[in-house]
Amino acid sequence: MKNTDRDLARLAVRVGRHLLRTERLAATAESCTGGWIAKTLTDIAGSSQWFSEGFVTYGNDAKVRRLGVPRAVLKAEGAVSEAAARAMAMGALVRSGAQVAVAVTGIAGPGGAVPGKPVGTVWLAWAVTQGRGRTQGRGPKIRVSTELRHFKGDRDAVRRKTVGVALAGILGR
């Protein structure tokens, strides 16, 4: 998949229309993309109608402090893991008050690879509130889905592809 900035912009427009149609706000929790998803969304005029906020939590301490990712998850699984991505998405959803959150954490390169996690490894997670009511007094029910990707290319290519998959994933939720 080769995304250009123009492709990402078109995708962001579709995401905005989808969120308006479904009357939801989106939030982002980004590590390896460094805010690129939020930037792509907010480049669209009128995005304040459907975009709540973005969290750029590049370091582990930021993931813990800003999103509530448990330190135990980071220690046991690492920052580039399904558990970390899931916790980031949940944290963004809860802390922003949005109804849809996307989280990404990965190794964009050129360094940073570890055994079992080569450059291009990216975990994505989407958290979505289900319905508008409360579930047994505990707030809305939340569904989280995750996806592991192994992207090829240099740092820019890995990050650009991650943004594309993250945005496309919102459309199906």
CA 130 – CA 142 distance, rounded (Å): 6
- Confidence category of residue 2, pLDDT binned at 50, 70, 90: low
Kindly state the DSSP code that residue 20 receives in the 8-state scheme.
Answer: H
Kindly state the DSSP code that residue 17 receives in the 8-state scheme.
Answer: H
Q: What is the pLDDT of residue 79?
A: 98
Q: What is the pLDDT of residue 135?
A: 41
- Confidence category of residue 168, pLDDT binned at 50, 70, 90: very high
Q: What is the pLDDT of residue 136?
A: 47
Per-residue pLDDT tens digits for 22-38: 999 999 999 999 999 99
> Is 96 in contact with 25 (CB distance < 8 Å)?
yes
Q: What is the pLDDT of residue 103?
A: 99
Between strands 141-150 and 121-130, the pairing is antiparallel
Task: Compare 173 and 35 and report the one with higher pLDDT.
Answer: 35
Cα-based distances in Å from 170 to 65, 74, 95, 126: 25, 25, 18, 7
Per-residue pLDDT tens digits for 46-84: 999 999 999 999 999 999 999 999 999 999 999 999 999
CA 82 – CA 85 distance, rounded (Å): 5
CA 148 – CA 146 distance, rounded (Å): 7
Per-residue pLDDT tens digits for 113-155: 999 999 999 999 999 998 654 444 566 799 999 999 999 999 9
Interior/surface letters 108-131, b for 16+ CB within 10 angstroms, e for the rest: bbeeeeeeebebbbbbbbbbbbee
CA 138 – CA 157 distance, rounded (Å): 41
Specify the amino acid at residue 26.
A
Q: What is the pLDDT of residue 3?
A: 72
Q: What is the enclosing helix (H) or strand (E) of 15? A: helix 5-21
